Structure 1
């Protein structure tokens, strides 16, 4: 019996060694990528994150998503450095040490691009849970079609952290809300700064203004009350990081729309 238990222990140790060898040392240079890597079951692969990342507070910081710190990244001896496609490609490449793989991923322009990002990320971090991506693809679309939206004219805004931002159909948020059955205003827009929120509402005449901000943010612009326009806050933690948390956002939206009675 002792021999059998010892052989099991040796086998488990060997398996752990294989799994450790298959886990690349990853620097995640954007918070939405960190969340997705964690969701894919490879959080232990991450050795460093950007200063904007609040999800791995104990890990070393490696600059910001758009201004990576080459010295800090090199000190971590990464095998893989993953950043957002929105960062300048030359700046990003220059910050990645020789011998490490540099990859920039998207996810902000559409739900289709987001699905592709998750697939690429699963492959890059050698995720044992890559099948989750297929479930995400089926899950978000099915849930979105059942939010209870009925073609309401929707304006999507972040109002905190500086100048308000509008999200249109050419952004992943606009694409998601469109799939959920809303008539998303600003159809030709990805994102756009908008200082005159009152003027925007007067021009676009939405049925609903969704304000999508993270809790605890400051410098928030108040949205003026307008007759027959509903102002509905949504948790930015569930919408502003392209990836699996959007499933929670769809559930939030569904709860709201099922109880909302439009005039």
Structure 2
């Protein structure tokens, strides 16, 4: 009797490559480590009722007014004009965000989330919730695409490192026949003992550092500081129960 075929585990290194993957038959993990998906899990971990990801600042403002929600987001690492809050996880402590709705737009992460809308399931992943992500994926028995938000379609280091960290944790449950997954895994193996130090050479580290955001970067590279699983349901991200 032959063993059942294991599901596939693949890494898409940029939204520009997503059309090459079988999204409709996969769980897609949206990865935008610096900082959208780190902020999403942090806000939900701290009790946000839900997060509504939108593509544009205009839509963010409009929905925020309709719902009386917090409007937040960034463009190129800075708070977008017209929005109340930015994309730092430190802006969403429990005493501020608990029970509230957050409407969020970002340069890269929310774009990829909307591109993956036909997936079996969409979740978001980052180092602060890596264990929740890995436990969920290992238990589902479904094909998985780790989708890196990248930076304006250019491959970036932090999202690739997170994808590699996930591959390293759960590869035994999957068939990994994907060179980008192997590349991400290899990069993570080189960096895993000092992610923050390794990231110093990365373009986004340098971009955010110019705004004095090294504290954000360090938090976003810290495993399990907000270990909750954000699931997309009816266009809204909620914490899995």
Bigger radius of gyration among the two: 1
Identify the structure with the greater helix proportion: 2
Normalised to the residue count of structure 2, the TM-score between the two structures is 0.28
Greater relative contact order (CA < 8 Å, ≥ 6 in sequence)? 2
Normalised to the residue count of structure 1, the TM-score between the two structures is 0.27
